[in-house]
Amino acid sequence: MAEIALAGLLLCVAAGTGMTVLRLFKLNYSRWEYLALGTALGLGLFSYLILGLGMIGWLYSGAVWAIIGILFPLAAWGFLSYLKLDRFRFSILGKWERLGVGILVWCAFFNIFMALAPPFLADSLKYHLAAPKWYISLHQIQFVPVFPFNMPQNMEMIYTAGMLLHSDTVGLLVHYSLGILAALGILLLAREFLSLNTAIWAAVFFYVGIPFIPHAAQGVDLAPIFYSVWAFYAFIRWRKTERIAWLSLAGVLAGLCAGTKYTGIYTPLALFFLVVLAILKDRKTAGGNDSLAGRALMLFLFFGLLSGCPWYLKNWLVTGNPIYPILYPLLGGRGWNMSSYLEGIKRLNADMGLLGRSFFDYVISPLKLIFLQNRIFVRGGMGLLTLSFFPVLFLLGKRFIQRYSWLLIFSLPFYAVWVIFSQHGRFLLPLVALWSIPCAEAAFELIKKGGYLRVLSVLILLLGIGMGAVLAPVYASRFIPVVIGAESRDSFLSKTTMFYQDIQWMNNNLPAGSLVMSDFVNLYYLDRPSIWMNARNAAWIDYSRIETTEDVLKRGIELGITHIFVMGEPSIKEWDDLVAKELLKRLYYNPKGWAIFSISMGISLEVPVAVYSVQ
């Protein structure tokens, strides 16, 4: 398939270019380190080049091909140096190691079908893919007062490049590959402490044991997991080798993690805390060397800020707020308003406040997380393996504390920031991924003890890993028919995407120049420009200034609205705004001739339930 070939081309160009950059750090790498770290740096560089094209209005397929052509010699040079490294021999693996690798390959094979299927996940249709589609339609990254469109978007830039080259599937395949490279990072990180056998099974704990991973191909969540794992890996290599270049590399990777989404900031913040403590420890044990300590910290900060700042700098230049529209009362922000800010905070506390917001809630939150993890993580929670073996870790005694002391210290600020500012399970997954390593060791330690502990541990492993391995083809069976052509794209999307048939009706019937205002925001498949009506994600309408329906009509005329798309009474009630209800009544008599699409919640028909054309 063309999509697979183009995704492979992007990955090869990124990996080769990144490997060339890695040579500047003058470190010794294994083949696996070189490949994964090169991909991390290369994709980050490629994302920022696409951002640059967007800022100057050059979002055309020819411009993307030009970038690929420019980077190709660098990529070739990187792969030439890669071929000189020692090869890994699969024959050295024992039967249990081969079983673990086999399970990883099995699940990776079936997970790819989600990346190959037409996009249907809500967040992708809302902004991960919708934002690139918007940019491409304008050939430029322009400001719009929509919260998700102004978040850091390194992965979305890869989607933009893929869509310009061929289709959205190209970028989704690149994103899917980051899950595999994250599993490789878990394996190599575990190998720093444990046997090869345990390290391989730690990767299985992550890639197979965490239920969210098979569902993650369509989105951007694999990117912060990938960069977090490898940033922490680089930190550990610094501690082991005492080569300061590893710390600089950790800064680069942490910065790139911050460039994937706002919650990607958790990793550089936690890693900065870790680096400071490590430097203080070194000064104390080595008798103190302020110049060396200061140099190490400054290098980490310099490379972290350099690789992480582009999106925040862009926001500051365009909106006046580097983390737009967060902290709006303090930092302000172009095009936003207090009504949208308060609505967003209200929704945040409702959707992401299950653990509570008091100091006492924060203290007991780890316990509450265990009982509420299915609601917080949504798709399957943290997984049976993590839930079963995590409590055992603290029974392993002093040896465990010493071996995983840096992970423990890293976890404290990461978890603190997460529980205070988010409480959404997806944003905790980078930490859950890293804890796959000690959880795997705990499982093998219990097996060694024999008796009922051995039997219980084996049963949990069989259930946790077996369930993941069995569910992989079951879940993929939803996508295989459409991927191989046995099911039409429209048929698949009609079953998986809310209001897809209604959106297609609008594509076929609305005039080309229509501008749709909608309270339904998953509009990736709508081929007409649209404006979000709700206040919590967008600020097109400042409802704090709306007193009459005439005010809404006036604002709509200013925006050039031609049609309104609403999902019906259930959604209207969620607006919590009487003006919205009055608006629907008043628009019947609107002389501008708007049409109201009134859709019953959860029902998708070939045509809207009612189309009111007002003349």
In whole angstroms, give the CA distance from residue 59 to residue 145.
21
In whole angstroms, give the CA distance from residue 551 to residue 556.
9
In whole angstroms, give the CA distance from residue 502 to residue 599.
8
Query: What is the structure's pLDDT at 186?
Result: 96
Burial 546-566 (b: 16+ CB within 10 A, else e): beebebbbebbeeeebbbbbb
Task: Please say whether the beta carbons of 75 and 16 come within 8 A.
Answer: yes
Burial, 352: exposed, middle or buried (Cβ in 10 Å; 0-12, 13-18, 19+)? middle
Strands 610-613 and 595-598: antiparallel
Render pLDDT for 538-556 as a digit per residue (tens, 0 to 9): 777 777 776 665 676 677 7
In whole angstroms, give the CA distance from residue 544 to residue 198.
58
> Of 565, 582, 585, 580, which Cα lies nearest the Cα of 518?
565
518 DSSP β-pair partners: 532, 565
Query: What is the structure's pLDDT at 89?
Result: 59
Query: What is the structure's pLDDT at 609?
Result: 35
Query: Which segments in the chain show pLDDT lower than 70?
Result: 86-91, 284-291, 350, 378-380, 535, 546-550, 552-553, 566-615
Query: What is the structure's pLDDT at 72?
Result: 94
Burial, 358: exposed, middle or buried (Cβ in 10 Å; 0-12, 13-18, 19+)? exposed
Burial 307-316 (b: 16+ CB within 10 A, else e): bbebbbebbb
In whole angstroms, give the CA distance from residue 157 to residue 147.
17
In whole angstroms, give the CA distance from residue 235 to residue 467.
34
Q: Is the pTM of this model over 0.95?
A: no
Query: What is the structure's pLDDT at 549?
Result: 57
* HEC profile of 94-108: CHHHHHHHHHHHHHH
Query: What is the structure's pLDDT at 406?
Result: 93
Question: What amino acid is encoded at 45 in this protein?
Answer: L
Query: What is the structure's pLDDT at 501?
Result: 79
- CB-based contacts of 79-83 (< 8 A; 24+ apart in sequence): 79/12, 79/15, 79/16, 79/19, 81/19, 81/20, 81/23, 81/34, 82/16, 82/19, 82/31, 82/34, 82/35, 82/38
In whole angstroms, give the CA distance from residue 200 to residue 258.
28
